[in-house]
Every structure is written in structure tokens, then in C-alpha cells.
Amino acid sequence: MTSSESLTASNVRQLMKSNIFRQGLIWLLLFAVSAQAFAAQSLILEIPSVVYANKGTVRLGEIARIKGGNKRTREMLADVQLWNDGREISRKDVMRAIDESDLSDIRLEIRMPLISKVEPPDYEGNFTETGGSSYAQRSVNDLVPLLKELSGWNGGLEISANNPVPDGTLIDPASLVPGTSGATLRFRDDSGRVKPLNVRLTWLQNTVIASRNIKRGDKISRSDVFTRPMKINRVGVYPSDVSEVLGFTSNKNFRQGEPIELSALTSSQTLKRGRQVKIVASYGGATASADGVLLEDGKPGEWVRVRRADDRKITLRARIIDENTVAVSTD
């Protein structure tokens, strides 16, 4: 069902009894807040006259530079699978692979010759050149902004490597998951050669720490906690701001100096009908949010009815996550 279709009153009553109508409401929420971000994006795909790849299936992100659009669309384009015979890749091959993918609503400019020659990957082992080598000119610290953008990470990031950073453009990976301890980065230089670099990653987050011993059942006040940067290997485990824990009750004992875990906190506060909240919906790998209003009283963990703030006709069932957030059910 699309947003442009109209329904009679009898059809609406009929659909409300089915899961199709329920899932339609979820997608209506997702579409309303995400359509603008995904509609008619302009991207540029650049493939050189010589690419380095083994015979068989190769990801576009391994042989092409992708510019424009948003991060999610670039990642989807980079993941498009392309078969090559080990000799050449044609513009027609690339267009066919993209047409067979799930990509839509994009304007794509392909910059490549009619035929690109395929040669085996030219990996040159450890990059230990010195003196006039251009590979020794870049530092791993120069990669921090780029990797933070690929991961969508707002905290601190430290990178270490045993070898200098290769010259050229980073072509892989197309994205990183915050908390990943290491990765192999692949760079392609102006001649089309692909070179790898193994890096170790340390992720830092401003974390809420207990300033005194906190007992199970204690209600957390501002004097009980403070913040400091901390190395993490998982995101979403620790709060990053004191405001996220104030007024919550601890479900476990925390020693002085120990980081507070979000999963160990509960709130006894009842949220009243009419409170403005953020509605979060996830379905099929897509996530979106919208401003909403509670239609029932409820506490964190309980299910309530909620509607979008800008549309009184859309009513959804959601679980209260905290004082400001509810999550829509997509089961």
C-alpha cells in the first residue's frame, strides 16, 4: 500500500483486522521520516581502466570509488556483487549488476571506459619503504576522521598499525561497526593497484562512572556519578551523559569508580498521557524516528498507545524505553 492510495471506510475496517494493515502503519512511519533522505540521490561511480581482482564475484566497493548520496546508499552500492571472468569488466556488466540489485531512487553517473582490464590483485606485502617512498608520508592519525565517518562514531578513536599508510583512496571497508578491535583497510592508488593495511582500533566513549559505592535499590543523584573517557568494545552498554541516569534506580551494586551500565537501571516514573516522546521504528534493516505523543499513561518497559505528533490519524502500539523514547512493535 502506498501513501497515494485511497481507502473506503469499509476497506479500512477490513484491513485493521490484518497484520498487513499493522505493518503498513509501521512502514508509513518509516517512509514519512526517511523518504526525503533516500529519494533521488545523486551518486558517482568511478572505475579505472585497469582493476585488480581475482576471477569470480567481486564487490563494486573493491574496484570502484563511490561519491555522493548518503552513507547507507553508498554502502548498498558498494555491496553490489559483480561477476568478472578474470580478463575484463565492461560498462554493460556494471549496469546489469546494479539493475539487478535492490537499489532504487538514485541518479547514478558511471565514469569508466567501455572496457576495464582485470589483473590479479597486486599486493606488495609489508610497506616498509623509506626515503623517497610516498607511502611513508601519511600517518594513521590522518585516518581517524575518515573511519569515524564510516562508523558514525562521535566518540574518540585511536588507530595503530605496524606499517605506514599506503598512498591512494580507501576503498574498503564501506562501513565499520563501533567497538571492532581491528580491520583490514584497502587502498587503491592512481595506477589502480590495491594495497592492504591491518590496523588496531581503540574506541573511547565519555562514560558515566560511580563516584561512590551505589547499592541495589539506590536512586541515583548527581552527586553519585561523574563522567570520564573510557575504552569500550560494545556500544549502547554505558550511558555517556549524567542526565541519562539521574532519577533512575540501580538494580545492582556498583563500586566506586565502576562504570554504570544502562541495563542495570530502571525508572519508577509514570509517563503521563500527552507527553511528547521520540518514536523509534525498525524493520527489515531500516530504522527511523519521528516525534510522537503518548495516548496512555505508562512506565518504562510497559506497552502503550502512541501517535505521531503531526498526524492524529496514525495510532501505534509502542514500548516505553525511557522518559523520552518509545519503540514501535514490528512483530
Same domain, 145 and 236: yes
Q: Which is nearest to 65 in space by CA: 74, 57, 56, 73?
A: 74
Number of domains in the chain: 3
- CATH number of the structural domain spanning residue 56: 2.60.480.10
Beta strand pairing call for 182-188 and 265-266: unpaired
Same domain, 158 and 103: no
Q: What is the model's pLDDT at position 38?
A: 41
SS3 string of 245-259?
A: CCCCEECCCECCCCE
For residues 201 and 180, the answer to whether their CB atoms sit within 8 Å is: yes
Q: What is the model's pLDDT at position 36?
A: 42
Same domain, 109 and 60: yes
Residues 6+ apart with CB under 8 A from 35: none
Same domain, 179 and 85: no
Same domain, 134 and 260: yes
The parent domain of residue 60 ranges over: 41-119
Which of 217, 232, 265 delimits the end of a domain? 265
For residues 303 and 277, the answer to whether their CB atoms sit within 8 Å is: no
For residues 266 and 249, the answer to whether their CB atoms sit within 8 Å is: yes
Prediction pTM value: 0.45
Which of 265, 286, 307 delimits the end of a domain? 265
Q: What is the model's pLDDT at position 22?
A: 52
Distance of CA 10 to the CA centre of its chain: 41
Q: Which of 3-7, 179-183, 243-247, 309-313 has the lowest mean pLDDT?
A: 3-7
User: Average pLDDT of 70-88?
Assistant: 84
What size, in residues, is the chain? Answer: 331
Residue 15 has pLDDT above 50, yes or no: no
For residues 154 and 186, the answer to whether their CB atoms sit within 8 Å is: no
Which of 219, 250, 265 delimits the end of a domain? 265
Same domain, 169 and 232: yes
